[in-house]
Amino acid sequence: MTPWNQELPFYPQPRRAAGFNVSLLVVIVVFLTLAASFLLILPGIRGHSRWFWLVRVLLSLFIGAEIVAVHFSTEWSAGSVYTNTSYKAFSAARIEAQIGLHVGLEGINITLTGTPVQQLDETIDYNERFSWHLGQDYAEEYAEALEKGLPDPVLYLAEKFTPSSPCGLYRQYRLAGHYASATLWVAFCFWLLSNVLLAMSVPLYGGLALLTTGAFALFSVSAFASISSVPLCPLRLGSSKLTTHYGAAFWVTVAAGLLCLLLGVAVVSLHYARPRALHIFLNQGIKDRGSQRGRSPLVLNNQLREQFGASDLIISTNL
């Protein structure tokens, strides 16, 4: 029999686990490129201001990257359990495995890893993604999973999130992800605005933009926590119960929001308490800008002074 596309027809296709999130990878590459570009020009900055710019730029890039990256992460809510469970439908075979559930703003990832991986004469290592993002049909993806004959634990968890499930997890988490995503995009816009305002020597409004960025980042966390905290259907797999907790993306967003609030409060406070020191700290270029008041002498040299012995002409003007 001739293989087609390096696969034999009329035989089960090789299983392909869900790969790395391409959107998340693009975000990471873009912000790492920006950071690397800045590090290349950093040696050209002289004096102690080099370290100031290093901290300022890297902090800003961290906040921006975090706000964008968590949109595509599936670590907002996560849980895993080790259990002995059935493997496939219409089969009495059971396996020892670790089952994981990872919930994001745009969908869920379900993992199934055998302990050991090699059981029942096959490799048990699944990573399946189901999305409810705009333009994607969760019910259709679940139907395709049924046709592929995925293992029972994967189908069981995926079925709990279908729109027709009495658990209501689909509407609950989809709504939480919708509001959290919307507020995070607003936070990203204010993050861009804060960078522009601080670069334009307007520290007060830059600080207020940072405060708004932190507020909307924390609003997204509150939106996800308040909606997703509704009691869930029990998720029982074999003799064990799977419970979820807030994941890394949730806590990193909390940290970024608090960091923005802290930086915003510091900038606004210094603007009112020590405005000149704030301008110097933000490296606005001329340290004494706006500090020298009064009369500044402007001396004009007379070219005929040596010939006629005339004194220099001094004109005083206010700058």
- Across the range 264-286, mean pLDDT stands at 77
Residue 303's pLDDT band, with cuts at 50, 70 and 90, is: low
Q: Give residue 3's pLDDT.
A: 47
Cβ-based burial of 273 (10 A; exposed 0-12, middle 13-18, buried ≥19):
exposed
What's the confidence (pLDDT) of residue 308? 46
The pLDDT of residue 13 is above 50:
no
**Percent of the chain having pLDDT more than 70?**
80
Burial 85-124 (b: 16+ CB within 10 A, else e): bbbeeeeeeebebebbbbbbbbbbbbbbbbeeeebeeeeb
C-alpha torsion angle, residues 242, 106, 23, 63 (rounded to 10): -90
DSSP 7: B
Burial of 55 (0-12, 13-18, 19+ CB in 10 A): exposed
d(CA 137, CA 144): 11
Q: How far apart are CA 232 and CA 256, in angstroms?
A: 28
Residue 169 reports pLDDT greater than 60: yes
pLDDT at 289: 39
pLDDT digits over 192-213, tens only? Answer: 999 999 888 788 999 999 999 9
Q: For the chain, how many residues are written? A: 319
Task: Please state, for a pLDDT cut of 90, what percent of the chain lies above it.
Answer: 27
pLDDT band at 231 (very low <50, low <70, confident <90, very high): low
Whether the link from the prior residue into 116 is cis, omega within 30° of 0, is yes
- Tell me what pLDDT residue 115 has: 85
Dihedral sign computed on CA atoms, order 174, 180, 183, 188 = negative
Report the pLDDT value the prediction gives residue 229, as an integer from 0 to 100.
Answer: 66
Q: What span, in angstroms and rounded, lies between the C-alpha atoms of 316 and 319?
A: 10
- Of the pLDDT bands very low, low, confident and very high (cuts 50, 70, 90), residue 217 is very high
Per residue in 278-292, pLDDT tens? 777 776 443 433 444
